Copies of this chain bind each other. A is one copy, B any other.
Amino acid sequence: MIQRKLEVTYRPFDRTTRVPPGTTVFSAAHWIGLPIDSTCGGRGTCGKCKVRVLEGGTEATTADHRQLRKDETDNGWRLSCQARIYEDLTCEVPQLLRVPKAATMGLSRLVIIDPNVRKVYLELAEPDLEDQRSDVTRLRDALTAEGHDMAAGVAVLRTLPMTLRDAGFKVTAVLAGEQLVAIEPGDTTEECFGVAFDVGTTTLVGTLMNLRTGMAAAVRSTLNGQAPFGADVISRISHAMNGPESVDELRNAVVATMNGILDELYAEANVKPERTYEAVVVGNVTMLHLLFGIDPTPISMMPFTPAFMDALSVPAREVGLRIHPGGYVQTLPALGAYVGADIVSGVLATGIAREDKMRVFVDVGTNGEIVIGSSQRTLATAAPAGPAFEGSQIKCGMRATDGAIEGVQLSDRVELQVIGGDVPAQGLCGSGLVDAVAQLLNVGLLDHSGRMLAATDAPNHPLADRLIEVEGVRAFLLADGVYLSQRDVRELQFAKGSIATGIKVLMDILGVQASDLDEIFLGGSFGSYLNPESAKIIGLVPPVDVDKIIAVGNSAGEGAKIALLSYRERQVAFELPTRIEYVELSGRSDFNDAFVSVLGFPHLELVS
């Protein structure tokens, strides 16, 4: 997996990057934010991305011979999108993308709008006896002249003869990559949509994107229709084990949920389904298996091997998704059985692995998915955290809905932040649990081993009266009927200990210390609600300045939107599995050692 990296320098910018052998000059430039000019997006057909190789070499390709003159190739000019790097090289870039249409997405990332789905309006020459090209050749020739490759399946061929003739050979070709999705009469280039889906085990979020403007046209989220078959990934897989019909049940449930979201999106944005040509779908490995009706059973059993982790492009017709029937469903790749396309999508949205900053990305949930590194080297792993962070197995735990304590502040009194505002506190959700433990540590009612004091241990403490005992177990009373028990603290210790251990193992492999970390991103639906300071106090994340700990929101959904809007960013995501090394924690001896060492809570300095 670890290959010798090669160095590429771009003039006149004097920007240098190190890439694995075989990376294209175009792609490497894009990784470091240099958008080389191109209208075909790096498909080798427009000829605009040519660069001149000054030092080091790369052989001329067939596409070079087609697009460049002989004196150009002789003088070192190459199509950067075709030129693969097999030795260190320096090249001159004559032209960056001019006035690119761009949108700010993900973590303040400027994304150039260049979607995989492209619409091209064409006024074709009408056939005559001097020009008897077939319809599809006529269309392909016109697209080639505009720099687009094209392949057409039978379904769209069926619509071709009549559409061309009814429209007087003035048509709009819709391409997804080089696949011809549709041929529409007249100029429909203004109407071009796609949808980004984050398929969570619990919640699905769909965003209808205007692929022309880069703006979201509508957003909807709803519970995953697979919920009746179990709350988490493991119970869904258990249901799937009942046989192919059960796999189909789960498949139909998630497809129905997605189609429900689509219907609402179309209604809200007043967009027709047949003007929506592509869906980018991210989710954990199990969710994507179930979406395609593929048995996920082996994911749940040692040695945890999925059927696929690749980025798949599947006809929408085959998935049953209600977009244009000739459209496509595109997934992003996964890094491991428990580090799925949602994490890859988050990495895309946050820029980890392609910038020089040393960063940690943690998606906290039943599993803690962890990515650590920089453009030099990046590692990923999944640490089994159990259900504590979701409020399960916690005495007064509950989901993050109305009545849940989501924030706790302790001083000489107790301040609670309850979801729903004025309603009475009914329980404790994950972020409230983390806050409560962190605050108890802060005020000295919990020691660093995780032992809760009894009222008798701290008789003068202003909160001593809240130290109670429930069924023989020590507890801290947060509100009427809502308390945090010693056992809850232990549950949290195991959960955070597992994730902290994952982080430690990866940092050890990379040879970095907490002081080397530039940023820590908390992702996922739970991470976004987590108080960064509390995460640090309980030792979930390494001890860094609190302002370096950043909640990045639904980074999976953001990454899916980015992949939808930018073909090049999508390529970056496709390459992530070859750039990020997956580390399996099961069976590692250093995991157990580290786990024991981080079970307790850290002795931090400068804690306010």
CA distance A175 to B61 in the complex (A): 28
8 Å CB contacts to B: which residues of A145-174?
A: 152-155, 157-158, 160-162, 165
Contacts of A91 in B (CB 8 A): none
On whether the beta carbons of A132 and B62 are closer than 8 Å, the reply is no
On whether the beta carbons of A310 and B128 are closer than 8 Å, the reply is no
On whether the beta carbons of B137 and A309 are closer than 8 Å, the reply is yes
Supposing A84-B62, A132-B336, A137-B309 touch, asked if A303 and B127 sit within 8 A by C-beta, the answer is yes
Contacts of A137 in B (CB 8 A): 308-310
> In this assembly, does A259 line the interface, its C-beta being within 8 Å of a C-beta of chain B?
no
- In the complex, the chain B residue whose C-beta lies closest to that of A60 is B59
> In this assembly, does A586 line the interface, its C-beta being within 8 Å of a C-beta of chain B?
yes
Contact of A305 among B127, B293, B312 (CB under 8 A): B127
Give this chain's copy count: 2
8 Å CB contacts to B: which residues of A41-60?
A: 59-60
On whether the beta carbons of B584 and A295 are closer than 8 Å, the reply is no
8 Å CB contacts to B: which residues of A298-316?
A: 298, 302-310, 312, 314
- In the complex, the chain B residue whose C-beta lies closest to that of A61 is B61
CA distance A129 to B319 in the complex (A): 32
> In this assembly, does A297 line the interface, its C-beta being within 8 Å of a C-beta of chain B?
yes
On whether the beta carbons of B314 and A134 are closer than 8 Å, the reply is no
CA distance A318 to B314 in the complex (A): 15
> In this assembly, does A587 line the interface, its C-beta being within 8 Å of a C-beta of chain B?
yes
Contacts of A152 in B (CB 8 A): 308
CA distance A298 to B22 in the complex (A): 47
On whether the beta carbons of B134 and A292 are closer than 8 Å, the reply is no
CB A529 to nearest CB in B, in angstroms, measures: 32
Contacts of A587 in B (CB 8 A): 129
> In this assembly, does A178 line the interface, its C-beta being within 8 Å of a C-beta of chain B?
no
CA distance A137 to B308 in the complex (A): 7
CA distance A16 to B146 in the complex (A): 38
CA distance A135 to B296 in the complex (A): 11
8 Å CB contacts to B: which residues of A550-608?
A: 582, 584, 586-587
> In this assembly, does A65 line the interface, its C-beta being within 8 Å of a C-beta of chain B?
yes
Contacts of A84 in B (CB 8 A): 62, 65
Q: How many residues of A contact B (CB 8 A)?
A: 55
Contact of A134 among B61, B128, B131, B306 (CB under 8 A): B306
On whether the beta carbons of A158 and B59 are closer than 8 Å, the reply is no
On whether the beta carbons of B305 and A160 are closer than 8 Å, the reply is no
On whether the beta carbons of A309 and B134 are closer than 8 Å, the reply is yes
CB A130 to nearest CB in B, in angstroms, measures: 8
> In this assembly, does A86 line the interface, its C-beta being within 8 Å of a C-beta of chain B?
yes
- In the complex, the chain B residue whose C-beta lies closest to that of A295 is B161
CA distance A157 to B294 in the complex (A): 7
On whether the beta carbons of A305 and B153 are closer than 8 Å, the reply is no
CA distance A402 to B127 in the complex (A): 45
Contacts of A60 in B (CB 8 A): 59
> In this assembly, does A133 line the interface, its C-beta being within 8 Å of a C-beta of chain B?
yes
8 Å CB contacts to B: which residues of A463-520?
A: none
On whether the beta carbons of A586 and B129 are closer than 8 Å, the reply is yes
> In this assembly, does A97 line the interface, its C-beta being within 8 Å of a C-beta of chain B?
no
- In the complex, the chain B residue whose C-beta lies closest to that of A333 is B134
Contact of A307 among B136, B293, B305 (CB under 8 A): B136
> In this assembly, does A337 line the interface, its C-beta being within 8 Å of a C-beta of chain B?
yes
- In the complex, the chain B residue whose C-beta lies closest to that of A82 is B62
CB A122 to nearest CB in B, in angstroms, measures: 16
CA distance A473 to B414 in the complex (A): 119
Contact of A135 among B59, B132, B158, B308 (CB under 8 A): B308
Contact of A584 among B62, B129, B154 (CB under 8 A): B129
Contacts of A135 in B (CB 8 A): 298, 305-308
Contacts of A298 in B (CB 8 A): 127, 135, 161, 165
On whether the beta carbons of A158 and B292 are closer than 8 Å, the reply is yes
On whether the beta carbons of A304 and B157 are closer than 8 Å, the reply is no
CA distance A65 to B138 in the complex (A): 36
Residues 159-202 of A, flagged 1 when their CB comes within 8 A of B and 0 if not, give 01110010000000000000000000000000000000000000
CA distance A293 to B162 in the complex (A): 13
8 Å CB contacts to B: which residues of A74-91?
A: 84, 86
CA distance A312 to B337 in the complex (A): 37
On whether the beta carbons of A158 and B305 are closer than 8 Å, the reply is no
Contacts of A293 in B (CB 8 A): 154, 158
Smallest CB-CB A-B distances: 3 pairs: A127-B305, A136-B308, A134-B309
Q: With A62-B84, A134-B305, A157-B292 given, name 7 new contacts (CB 8 A).
A: A61-B61, A61-B62, A127-B305, A132-B336, A136-B307, A138-B305, A154-B319
Q: Can you list 23 A-B contacts (CB < 8 A)?
A: A22-B62, A61-B62, A62-B84, A129-B584, A132-B303, A133-B305, A135-B298, A135-B305, A135-B308, A136-B307, A136-B308, A136-B310, A138-B305, A153-B314, A154-B293, A154-B314, A154-B318, A154-B319, A155-B318, A161-B297, A161-B298, A161-B307, A165-B298
